[in-house]
Structure 1
Amino acid sequence: DEVGYIKINNFAITTHDEFKKGLRELKGQGMKKLILDLRGNSGGVMDAATMIADEFLPDGKLIVFTMGKSTPRQDIKATSQGDFEQGELVVLIDEWSASASEILAGAVQDNDRGTIIGRRSFGKGLVQEPVTFRDGSGMRLTIARYYTPTGRSIQKPYDEGVDKYYEDLGNRIMHGELEEADSIRHSDSLRYTTPGGKTVYGGGGIMPDIFVPIDTVGLTDYFLAIRNSGLLYRYALKYTEDNRETLRRFNDLASLDRWLSDQNLLTKFVAYAGKNGIPPRTDQIAISEKVISVQLKAYIARNMLDNKGFYPIWQQIDRTLLDALNYIGSI
């Protein structure tokens, strides 16, 4: 397959090295197109994000800049050391992608380097400086903001007060922004244009090029109860321990997936959930059957094969990833 997939859950000191290692392995397997998944990534070490952006951009391209009322502008630009400056690139974001994730996604979008797919990101882009007091306590002082290459502020505004700022995501959900592209509000005063002529919007966060609504298929009260209680993960762990000798026989994901599909996991799990305080609801189980079964298989596969076993199975119910695969396969 020419399409590679890398998921970054957060940005740590070692993330760039781990990314380069993963990228080399995928290129060695024939990868020519890459999907970079930043969904749920709330940030972390900013340098890790800018170094990964550098892997995609040619020498001299602006990655991000900072500027404040009393802080002069500082630019961070790409070098000539990028390992993936040519192949097709898709970046996945959602409402929980924040900070360093938004810096990376904004650099890709504003330089016309790739396509952003998903939902508008969180909108967290402040430069803060720690201040330590004599008694050992401290505070973080905001001195500047992060801006994408076209000049968009990543930070969502405080114009309507602190309370409204913290209620922003809840309001986005209430207004249907996570479900309908038409519910997203654009301000003409915050319209920007990339060097390639693409229109992008400011106002806080990164707006995707291709919107994918949050997937509510299979989200019954029964499914939410077993998910929120942690029973899905606990049963997958129990099943792995009870069947570890058998599971060890499978060295590849395809054969493990086929075997698990024949084990009637759903029926066994429903009985387990019933013994742990969540009685079966036949009508809702029928609606949630696929999402429950796939998640169980994915968790078990991760227990045996790490994330290389988890994500290929999980993508069967991941609408955003499936849309990204369809898109990148068409270009």
Structure 2
Amino acid sequence: MSYKNSLRQVVLPLVLAAVLAGGVFIGKTFSSPGDVSPGSRLFIYPQTNKIDAVLRLIEEQYVDTVDKVELTESLIPEILKNLDPHTVYIPAEDVKEANQELEGNFGGIGVQFSIQNDTVMVISVVPGGPSEKVGIIPGDRIIAVNDSVIAGKGIDSDEVVGMLRGELGTKVKVGILRRDRKGLLDFEITRGSIPVTSVEVGYMITDSIGYVKVSRFARNTYQEFLTALARLKAYNCQNLIVDLRGNSGGYLDIAISMINEFLPKGSLIVYTEGKASPRQDVYANGLGSCKDMRLTVLIDEFSASASEIFAGAIQDNDRGLIVGRRSFGKGLVQQPFSLPDGSSIRLTVARYYTPSGRGIQKPYTNGVEDYHRDIIARFQHGEFFERDSIEFDTSLEFYTVNGRKVFGGGGVMPDVFVPRDTSGFSDYYFKIRDRALMYQFALKYSDDNRIQLQRFETVEALEHHLDKENVLARLIKYAADNGIKYDEKGFRQSKNLMGTELKAYIARNILDNMGFYPIIAQVDEILKVAVSEIQAGNDVLVFDGKNK
């Protein structure tokens, strides 16, 4: 939403409140006599406009020349951080990039790449995108961009993205090195609209259980979600798992549209309320296409905001089973306000509440740094491993529509708690993972064997081939060649985890996420517990309103 207010009109009330609350008084001076030059007069600016007065005083009287614009840019974030952890200032030059991920598309050439051995390698090409149209294929190395050599220059991913992205319809030249071809291949690519996919995968885990992974709630997420649901229904999906782990949120209206697919008419989805935002209740309209489909939702400590709205609405309406670990705890609603210079403030204007009345925002009274360290504190306290380590505020008890007790005060607590599984972790595993050797080897193996691997059209066939090839043994040798000494004990402890992750990375390079997720599911404890609960019929207990 854009307003024509001046910078002063938008920011000044916030500034004034912060200044008054902090006890900063301008109009008095605590300088000793020696701090004031002889003969100078102390000018007291009007106290009704203190921030402008301070800036003007600095600009006119400060010992050195200062950039008032730069000073203002640094001042605004300092003011806003005293409000709450999610009110933020976005400079004009960063607004477009900040909105890009949620808006659902950007101008680019349509490739996914990785930097290996100081060279940009194309991992996959967006079907029908600008790069595919000119003939770029997975495995190609991007050596030059617009006649500037980038290979061997120590360039990072952000710099590459900056070169390849641009306005729609503009052109970029790339020099490509292709296996078994001499010299560079030159391509001129017209940048097109590249979709930012937020529904990463949808597939059938069993003959009756479908799985959908949603990574964010972006502008196109609802349509992507409906497409995935339609595909799963065609395979007779009767039980749906919606995976919101690691999903930090996004657009509230998109989450509401998705929740609406599962709830009967008149069910409360969420309500919001703030000082300047009267309470607004949002109800299901009864037109959802999955009102009778059994539902399980996966969450973890990195599920936040719109993800918590989704999980809270399903839980409070006793509509499905929530499996995983306690969510992040973000219950604040931000609204963007555009400033005259093109910058923006995402200002917290309301809190949201789940249907039972839970406010799930965790406390932030100890400051932003402490707020963001809460995840570490949870880990150290043992919350990731023991449900009983979580201390509930009994003064914040609420009840679902069928009388099950739930708690507010910080995040959504799942119906079925799944502790973090560390049984496959070893120092040997971490040494390989921390140096990204598993990922690098998967990339190298995929590239060296791409023609052969592309023959496999299903993940089952590809995985069977990788098992016969004993790719894990090759990884161990690759790690040794790169300075990680073989550890027999560590290998035995982590063998299953490393072998599964390696096959999943290779499969992603060949079959994209439809290759990765079905394989990684084999070591995904939360997902395995969810499937077990569904097969045991325990998800129906929640749907029927019985307390587990």
TM-score by length of 1: 0.96
Please state if 1:81 is matched with 2:287: yes
Q: Following superposition of structure 1 onto structure 2, how do residues 80-229 of structure 1 map, counting pairs within 5 Å? A: 80-229=286-435
* 2-structure distance, mates of 1:7, 1:166: 25
Indicate the residue corresponding to 2:479 in structure 1: 273
Q: Deviations over 1:87-146 (max 9, x none)?
A: 211100000111111111111111111010000000112112334444554433222111
Structure 2 alignment gaps of length 5 or more: 1-206, 538-548
Q: What is the deviation of 1:192? A: 0.6
Indicate the residue corresponding to 2:457 in structure 1: 251
Q: What is the deviation of 1:160? A: 4.3
Q: What is the deviation of 1:297? A: 0.7
Q: Following superposition of structure 1 onto structure 2, how do residues 42-61 of structure 1 map, counting pairs within 5 Å? A: 42-61=248-267
Q: Deviations over 1:182-223 (max 9, x none)?
A: 101111111110011111111111110000001111111221
* 1-structure distance, mates of 2:435, 2:267: 47
Q: Which amino acid aligns with 1:195?
A: V
Residues 270 and 56 of structure 1: CA distance in aligned 2, closer, same or farther (over 3 Å):
same
1:32 corresponds, among 215, 222, 238, to 238
Q: Which amino acid aligns with 1:55?
A: E
Q: Deviations over 1:127-174 (max 9, x none)?
A: 123344445544332221111111111211224444432321111111
Please state if 1:240 is matched with 2:446: yes
Residues 251 and 156 of structure 1: CA distance in aligned 2, closer, same or farther (over 3 Å):
same
Residues matched between the structures, number: 331
Q: Deviations over 1:242-279 (max 9, x none)?
A: 11122122222222211111211111001112222333
The higher relative CO (CA closer than 8 Å, separation ≥ 6) is in: 1
1:230 corresponds, among 436, 452, 455, to 436
SS of 1:192's partner is strand
**Alignment root-mean-square deviation, CA:** 1.5
Q: Which amino acid aligns with 2:284?
A: A
Q: What is the deviation of 1:34? A: 0.5
1:320 corresponds, among 492, 510, 526, to 526
Please state if 1:302 is matched with 2:508: yes
Task: Decide which structure has the larger Cα Rg and report it.
Answer: 2
SS of 2:441's partner is helix
Identical residues among aligned pairs (%): 52
TM-score by length of 2: 0.59
* 2-structure distance, mates of 1:211, 1:150: 21
Q: Which amino acid aligns with 2:311?
A: A
* 2-structure distance, mates of 1:143, 1:22: 33
Structure 1 alignment gaps of length 5 or more: none
Q: Following superposition of structure 1 onto structure 2, how do residues 8-19 of structure 1 map, counting pairs within 5 Å? A: 8-19=214-225
* 2-structure distance, mates of 1:300, 1:176: 34
Q: Which amino acid aligns with 1:310?
A: F
Q: What is the deviation of 1:181? A: 0.9
Greater mean deviation of Cα atoms: 182-191 or 152-161: 152-161
* 2-structure distance, mates of 1:12, 1:140: 16
Q: Deviations over 1:47-90 (max 9, x none)?
A: 22111101111122111111112321012221222111112111
Q: What is the deviation of 1:10? A: 1.2
* 2-structure distance, mates of 1:222, 1:46: 43
SS of 2:212's partner is strand
Indicate the residue corresponding to 2:94 in structure 1: none
Q: Which amino acid aligns with 2:419?
A: P
